[in-house]
Amino acid sequence: MGEFKVHRVRFFDYMPSGIRALAFNGDTERMAVARMDGSVEIFHCSDRFFQEKIIPGREQCGIEGLSWVGERLFSAGLNGGITEYDLTNQKVKYTIDAYKIPWYTFLVGCEDGTVKLFEVNEDKIQFERNLDRQKSRIVSLSWHTSGSKIAAGMMDMIQIFNVETGHSIHRMLADRGVGTSRSKECVVWSVVYLSDGTIVSGDSVGMVKLWDDQTGTLIKSHNVTKCDVLALSVSQNEDSLVAGTSEGTVVQFQFVSMVLGKDDKEWVRTRTFKNHTHDIRAVAEITTAVVSGGMDAQLVVKPLLDKIEVRSAASALRKIHFPHRRLVFCARNSGLMLFQYPGHLELWRLGESEGKGSSLFVKRNPEKLLHLKVKGEDHIRCSAVSPCGEWIVYSTASSLRLYRLHYQRFLFLFFQISKLPKVLSSANQLCFSSDSSHLFSASTQSSVHIVSLSQSGCKFVGTLKPKSGSHQAIHLLAASEDGEWLASANSDHEVHIYNLQTRKAHCTVPVYSSAVTAMGIHPTTNCLFMMYADQQMCEYSIEQKQYTDWSRTVQRKGLHRLWMERDTPCLNVMFNPQNPSHVILHDTYMLCIIDQSLPLPDDKTQFYNQLTLKSLTEDQRKSHSHAFKVCKTFKDILCVELISDQSLVVVERPLEDVATQLPAPIKQKKFAT
C-alpha cells in the first residue's frame, strides 16, 4: 500500500496533573475530576468515559473537594474559595471566599475548626451559619441523608454535629498507631455517614473503622494498609464501600449477610485492586465500576464484574492517561509543531533526514523556536497554529492572544497583534482556514466568529450561529480545504456545518448518541468524516446533506469487534491528498489508515493483519487485505498529523517517561530488596 516517512517525536514533555477529587453524578452519568493544577474535567461514564469538558485551572488554585448539587458542580479549594462552574461554557462561574476552606461545598469545614453552612440558591450560594467551633482542623465532612446530622473527621477524632443546634453530639476518638507512629496525630482523612447511622472513617493509621452514631462506639475496624487510607466512597445503594490508600490500592467492602438468607448483614472486606503506583486521592463507585485517581495522574475505571452481564467494551479495565483533546498542532506547510502546555506554548521546527532505510539519518535536529508564557494566572484552554506557520493563537478563560511570526533566513520576527476585535475576548476552540487567511474562534452559545488575517492586522468578518439547538461549548472545529465549509461539534453531540461564502448555517448532521471525538472535511469530496467516542465512524456528504454510501455500508455491516473494543477515542482525522480513498486516524495506541476502496472486514477476518500481509506475497495480499490498515508501531500517541510533504508527525509521550517524572511513591518493602 505504501510507505510513510514518520517523524517520531518524544520531546513533548507533557505531564498530566495528579487527580485530587472525584464526584459522580448518578443522574447524568457524569464524573467530575479535579486535578492538582486546578482543572476540572467532566467524563461521560456511559459514553466510554469520553472527556466531554475541560475547565482549565489557574495558577495557585488547589481544589480540595468537588460536589454535585443537581447538575451544578461546586469545588472548594485551599485558597479559601468555593467555586461554581459554568459547565455550558466550560468556565468558572463565580468564586466566593469562605476563609481557608479545605473541604467541601455548601457545607464547609475550615482549617480554623469551624464548619460553615452555605445555602445553595438559584444562581449563587449564600453563607448561612457556623457550627460549634472546634479546636482542631476539620479534614473531612459527611452529611447524613436526613440532613440533620453531620460527621466531621478531625485530628485524632470524629465528631457528630446536630445541624439544627450546631452542637456536637458525639466525640469518637480514633486510635493512634502503635510504636513510633504513636507520637504522630491520627488524621481522619475521610468520613462517610451512611443512612443507617453508621459512620465509616479512613485514617492515617491505615484503618477503616465503622462507628455507631447513636452510641458513638466503634463497631468494627479493618486494618487495610500500613499507610494512610486517603479516600472513601460509598455506592448509591450503600451496599458497597471503596477505600483508596496511599499505596495505590483500592479496597472494597461489601455489606453482605454472613449467613445465607439471613438479614443480619455486616461490612466485609472483599476485593483489593492495585492499579496505581502512587497515592490514591479520590475514589468513587459508579454503577458498574470503581473509579479511582491519584498522584500518578491516571484515572482508572475498574469494572465490577459481578455487576456486568455481558462482556463488552465496558467490562474492560480502562486507564485514562491523556486528555481527549489535542495538545499538539502542526503547521502543515512549514513543518512546525505547537505544543500546548498548561502555562506555556512551545513552537518547534521538525528535523530533516537523508538516506534510505527503515531508520533514517537525522541530518538536522528539530529546534525549539519559541517558548511563549501565558500572561496572567489562567491556564491555556485552546491554541492553534496556522497551516503556513505564520500565526499562533491561544486562549485562556479570560483572554485571547494572536501572534504573528515572520521568518527570514536567519531572522525570526515575532510580535503580538495588539488590536483584536472585541469578540475575540475568549474562545472555546480555535481553528485557522487552510489558506491561513481566516481564524475561526468558537465562542459562547455555540457560535463561531470569523476573523480575517492579513499583514496589517486582523478584522472581524462575521459570526456563524446555529439555527437552533443547544448552547453547549464547541470542542471541535474543522475547516474545508477549499475554504467553503466549516464544521463545528459541541458537547451536546451536535455537528453544525456552515457555508463560509454565505456565512450561514448550511445543515446539521443528525445527532448521534455518542460524542464526536474527531472530524475532518475531505479535501476533494467535501465529505465530513466523523469519529465518535463509541468508536463508530460516519461520513457525511456536505453537499448532498446525507450520509455517503460508504458510511451506510459501514453502518449496515458493522465495524469489526476488535475495532469497537479499543478503549481510547480517535483524536484526529486526516486525508491523504495523494490517495483520496485513504483516511488516516489515530488513537493513543495505534495509527490507522482506512482505505475506502477495499472491502470492510467482518468479524471472521483477521483484523490486525499487517504482520500477516507482510509475510505474504504481493498477489496473496490482495485477497487478505481489508480496509483497516492498523499500525501498532507507536505507543502512547498524543498526536498524529500528516504534513504537506506526505510525511507523518507522530508525537508520543511514553508512559515510562511520565512515570519517571512523578514524585517517588511511598516506599514499599518488597521481598528481598
Residues that bind another protein (CB under 8 A): 1-11, 351, 353, 356-360, 362, 365-366, 593, 606, 610-616, 621, 625, 629, 631, 633, 647
How many Cβ atoms sit within 10 Å of the Cβ of residue 624? Answer: 12
Looking at the Cβ atoms of 86 and 657, the one nearer to another protein is 657
Looking at the Cβ atoms of 311 and 624, the one nearer to another protein is 624
What pairs with residue 302 in β-bridges? 290
Looking at the Cβ atoms of 430 and 640, the one nearer to another protein is 640
Q: Least distance in Å: CB of 651 to another protein?
A: 10
Q: Least distance in Å: CB of 6 to another protein?
A: 5
Looking at the Cβ atoms of 418 and 623, the one nearer to another protein is 623
Q: Least distance in Å: CB of 357 to another protein?
A: 7
Kindly write down the DSSP assignment for every residue of 570-625, as one continuous string.
Answer: --EEEE-TT-TTEEEEE-SS-EEEEETTSPPP-TTS-SS-HHHHHHS-HHHHHHH-
Q: Least distance in Å: CB of 333 to another protein?
A: 19
Looking at the Cβ atoms of 157 and 360, the one nearer to another protein is 360
How many Cβ atoms sit within 10 Å of the Cβ of residue 360? Answer: 15
Looking at the Cβ atoms of 112 and 657, the one nearer to another protein is 657
Looking at the Cβ atoms of 70 and 355, the one nearer to another protein is 355
Q: Least distance in Å: CB of 330 to another protein?
A: 15
Looking at the Cβ atoms of 460 and 608, the one nearer to another protein is 608
**In a 10 Å sphere around its CB, with 0-12 CB exposed, 13-18 middle and 19+ buried, how is residue 77 labelled?**
buried
Q: Least distance in Å: CB of 599 to another protein?
A: 15
- Is 429:474 a contact under the CB 8 Å cutoff? yes
Looking at the Cβ atoms of 356 and 409, the one nearer to another protein is 356
**In a 10 Å sphere around its CB, with 0-12 CB exposed, 13-18 middle and 19+ buried, how is residue 623 labelled?**
exposed
Q: Least distance in Å: CB of 539 to another protein?
A: 21
Cα separations (Å) of 447 from 21, 325, 368, 381? 32, 20, 35, 17
3-class SS at 165? coil
How far is the C-alpha of 391 from the C-alpha of 127, rounded, in Å? 47
Closest listed residue to residue 267, CA positions, set 209, 217, 306: 209
Q: Least distance in Å: CB of 630 to another protein?
A: 9
Q: Least distance in Å: CB of 650 to another protein?
A: 9
Q: Least distance in Å: CB of 5 to another protein?
A: 6
Closest listed residue to residue 98, CA positions, set 65, 123, 69: 65
What's the one-letter identity of residue 297?
A
Residue 277: partners with Cβ closer than 8 Å, 6 or more residues away = 248, 296, 659, 662, 665
Looking at the Cβ atoms of 264 and 656, the one nearer to another protein is 656
- Is 61:396 a contact under the CB 8 Å cutoff? no
Residue 610: φ, ψ to 5°: -65, -40
- Buried b / exposed e along 566-591 (16+ C-beta atoms within 10 A): bbbbbbbbbbbeeeebbbbbbbbebb
What's the one-letter identity of residue 639?
C
Q: Least distance in Å: CB of 287 to another protein?
A: 38
Looking at the Cβ atoms of 182 and 624, the one nearer to another protein is 624
**In a 10 Å sphere around its CB, with 0-12 CB exposed, 13-18 middle and 19+ buried, how is residue 354 labelled?**
exposed
Q: Least distance in Å: CB of 356 to another protein?
A: 8
| 495-499, strands of its sheet edge to edge | 474-479, 485-490, 495-499, 504-509
Looking at the Cβ atoms of 138 and 584, the one nearer to another protein is 584
Q: Least distance in Å: CB of 658 to another protein?
A: 14
Looking at the Cβ atoms of 365 and 660, the one nearer to another protein is 365
- Buried b / exposed e along 391-427 (16+ C-beta atoms within 10 A): bbbbbbbebbbbbbbeeeeeeeeeeebeebeebbebb
Residue 181: φ, ψ to 5°: -75, 0
